A and B are shown apart, each in its own frame.
Chain A
Amino acid sequence: MENFVLANSGHNRDDEASKFGMWLFLFTELLLFGGLFLVYTIYRYLNSEAFLHASYELDVVMGTVNTVVLLTSSLTVALSITALQKGNIKLTQGLLVATILFALTFLVIKYFEWSAKFEHGLFPGMDHYDHLIPAEKMFFFLYFFMTGLHGLHVIVGGVLLGFVMWDIKKKKTTPDNFVYLENGGLYWHLVDIIWIFLFPLFYLIH
């Protein structure tokens, strides 16, 4: 028997709904990190001396390079959306490849940064770490926790953009239907903006 179908169906394409949903999801991500920022702020306030002392261990040069890398990747992803809107699929894919390469660069630099900390024995349970005062331990733990969670988001964002590229290749995401790319881009900007807060909090404040 034929089924009656309503005009305002939940199965219709609705780009505005998709973007709305993505924005709501980004709010939840901000709040997720918000809890950590709150904890960081309170312990920084309570132990400003120790946090300052511990922060000298971090590599400002590597942090700065990573900031530049991530900001540039936000630019390329934004450009890729415009490129797709203008119908230039080759350029879109090129810009997305660039974005993913920037993401990988970010992770490689992060890897070297973390390795240096491991060599200095600054991870919980390691030799040097165990001899630190509690507040310094807190700093390093928050550093690993927050940049680690952020790194996880970089990976998720990169994989997401990879799926978008696949969709473009399969012609499911097209110059007329690019909300998937837009949402991927939105997520990527979130990854970027969280780093914009992490960077000064850990590396720059004196």
Chain B
Amino acid sequence: MSVALAQPENFYQAKRGLFSWIFSTDHKRIGLLYFYAIISFFLVAMALGFLMRLELIAPGETVMGAKTYNQVFTLHGVIMIFLFLIPSVPAFFGNFLLPLMIGTDDVAFPKLNLFSWWLYVLGGIFALLTLVVGDGPADTGWTFYAPYSVKTGTNVTLAVLAAFILGFSSILTGLNFIVTIHRLRAPKMGWFQMPLFAWALYATAWIQLLATPVIGITLLMIIAERVFGVGLFDPSLGGDPILYQHLFWIYSHPAVYIMVLPGMGLISEMIPTFAKRTIFGYKAIAYSSLAIAFIGYFVWGHHMFTSGMSGPARVIFSVLTFLVAVPSAIKVFNWVATLYKGAIDVKTPLLFSLAFIFQFLLGGLTGLVIGALATDIHLHDTYFVVGHFHYVMFGGAGFAFFGALHYWYGKIWGKMYNEKRAQIAFWLMFIGFNTLYFPMLVLGLMGMPRRYYDYLERFETLNVISTVGSWILITGILLMIINLIVSRKSGKVAPRNPWGGTTMEWQTPSPPPLHNFDATPVVPEGNPYDHKNNITEKA
């Protein structure tokens, strides 16, 4: 069984041709299919973001009018959330790495996995169709708040249908991962020998499974309301728009954790490797993922402090919101403690991880500011909120995604990226990101409302700074992508374990063979991050 073959064929070589990809049931290929789709959508939404910042470089209309601006920010949100953030880490890194990390050759339901990719593509097509048919893309914001979403003439029905299909795809991915983790771990791998990324995916999968159906049915109700002209949420027809907001956020707040928890899992993988030190508080990090998933269900009301709720309800939601910060803080403290007295090797993935900690901290703490009842009244629907969630979602989840892209680049594509260019790109992104979003926090405190294409003159200076930041950030992102594309050709050949990682995906060749391993992988004894037990060769 454990005879290693000298040069096994990698999974790219095993089969060839377009059909071997789009009808593949191999988790690695499906992961890559997701990746190429996800990154394309990311670039589209990034371009929309660029246009929005350009519009806001000066007061008054500069490059687009009010309605176009509304449509652009809606499409930006819909794509970034449903097509980039939610699938990015689970559907790409999760698919590619989970079976490798737990020492198996595929997910539990390979065909279902392919089906969920096809659903993703279908949802993506519907989202893009809103651009070309009828009265253009929805102008409601990604939240599709009723009653406006019921009344506007833009393509809300199509956009909502896209979100419904994408939700279904996300449910099936989550279902697949839960069963995979329960049933397919390597024979000797206990729950607390799983890598923390697997733990993060496990917690995320439960959220995907248990929260997404609620948004599914809510979006169907919006469609029904539009098609049949009945008033489920339209107050002029006896409906209750606040009920829509509840139903929407019952999913969409947990969905925030679908977006950030897997990113936290990636950080928990990268930091011990580059600190050359066992992760501090393994179990605390594992449990905190579950705690975030659990408490995250009960905080949705904090999106609605100003839209009409009883006093006691608001206090309860506020307290629960503060509670959810505790497990998040546990993670941050453990990551920092892991670095303490480590032999730190400053490589690009570590830089992204450190930027994650810094930016997530800012995003998390500003979240508490708006989780508090009194301050939220002042800051609700201002740029402070925009700054806050971009710090968590982009500065957090997005940076984790890009860091992980460098960390596992060799494993996935078999070549090493160019370190120098990657670091230049990182610094451009880091500086650009903070120049772009930090002024938004200040603008929000000054009272600039969100979702307008125009603003008062006294907000101009900070808006100009923010727009310049967007140019720096985009330059960084493009440089990073070019570097990764070029390295695919010119990079050095990646060894099995270029970073001295301790988890099981480093025991197999880069890229892995069709069935993932060329010999039965060795499950590390005890903690999976124990560098003393590092049985794989370095470089």
Assembly CA distance A28 to B212 (angstroms): 8
Question: Which A16-42 residues have a C-beta within 8 angstroms of B?
Answer: 16-17, 20-21, 24-25, 27-29, 31-36, 38-39, 42
Which of A10, A35, A124, A135 interacts with B213 by CB under 8 Å? A35
Contact at B104–A9, with CB atoms within 8 Å? yes
Contact at B217–A32, with CB atoms within 8 Å? yes
Main secondary structure on A side of the interface with B: helix
Known contacts being A3-B513, A137-B230, A138-B239, is A25 close to B104, with CB within 8 Å? no
Measured between beta carbons, the chain B residues less than 8 angstroms from A141 are: 224, 228, 230, 232
A-B contacts, CB under 8 A, total: 142
Which of B180, B214, B514, B519 interacts with A35 by CB under 8 Å? B214
Q: At the interface with chain A, which of B106-114, B327-335, B446-454? A: B106-114
Assembly CA distance A6 to B239 (angstroms): 56
Measured between beta carbons, the chain A residues less than 8 angstroms from B514 are: 3
Measured between beta carbons, the chain A residues less than 8 angstroms from B179 are: 17, 20-21, 24
Residue-wise interface mask of B (458-500) relative to A, using a CB-CB cutoff of 8 A (1 in contact, 0 not): 0000000000000000000000000000000000000000000
Contact at A134–B228, with CB atoms within 8 Å? no
Contact at B243–A36, with CB atoms within 8 Å? no
Contact at B520–A31, with CB atoms within 8 Å? no
Residue of B whose beta carbon sits closest to that of A145? B224
Residue of A27, A35, A125, A134 with highest tally of chain B CB at under 10 A = A35
B451 to A: closest C-beta gap in Å: 27
Contact at B230–A138, with CB atoms within 8 Å? yes
B157 to A: closest C-beta gap in Å: 16
Residue of B whose beta carbon sits closest to that of A144? B228
Residue of B whose beta carbon sits closest to that of A134? B238
A7 in the interface, Cβ–Cβ < 8 Å? yes
Known contacts being A17-B179, A137-B231, A141-B232, is A4 close to B214, with CB within 8 Å? no
Question: Which A52-92 residues have a C-beta within 8 angstroms of B?
Answer: none
Measured between beta carbons, the chain B residues less than 8 angstroms from A27 are: 209-210
Q: At the interface with chain A, which of B184-192, B343-351, B389-397? A: B184-192
Measured between beta carbons, the chain A residues less than 8 angstroms from B221 are: 35-36, 39, 145
Contact at A31–B515, with CB atoms within 8 Å? no
Contact at A5–B214, with CB atoms within 8 Å? no
Measured between beta carbons, the chain A residues less than 8 angstroms from B243 are: 39, 42
Question: Which B196-217 residues have a C-beta within 8 angstroms of A?
Answer: 209-210, 212-214, 216-217
B530 in the interface, Cβ–Cβ < 8 Å? no
Measured between beta carbons, the chain A residues less than 8 angstroms from B178 are: 20, 24
Known contacts being A3-B514, A24-B179, is A134 close to B240, with CB within 8 Å? no
Which of A1, A8, A38, A133 interacts with B184 by CB under 8 Å? A8
Known contacts being A1-B8, A4-B515, is A21 close to B238, with CB within 8 Å? no
Assembly CA distance A124 to B229 (angstroms): 7
Binding site for A on B (CB under 8 A): 1, 5, 8-9, 14, 27, 99, 103-110, 112, 171, 175-176, 178-180, 182-187, 209-210, 212-214, 216-218, 221, 224, 228-232, 237-240, 243, 247, 513-520
* 17 A/B residue pairs, CB under 8 Å, sorted by A: A4-B5, A4-B518, A6-B105, A8-B103, A8-B187, A9-B104, A10-B104, A10-B107, A11-B110, A14-B108, A21-B176, A24-B209, A34-B214, A35-B247, A134-B231, A137-B237, A138-B230
Besides A1-B9, A3-B514, A125-B229, 17 other A-B contacts (C-beta < 8 A): A1-B5, A3-B9, A4-B5, A9-B104, A10-B99, A10-B108, A21-B179, A24-B178, A28-B210, A38-B247, A39-B221, A39-B243, A134-B238, A137-B231, A138-B238, A138-B239, A145-B224
Question: Which 8 A-B residue pairings sit nearest by Cβ, starting from the closest?
Answer: A134-B238, A10-B106, A35-B217, A31-B213, A124-B228, A32-B213, A141-B230, A17-B183
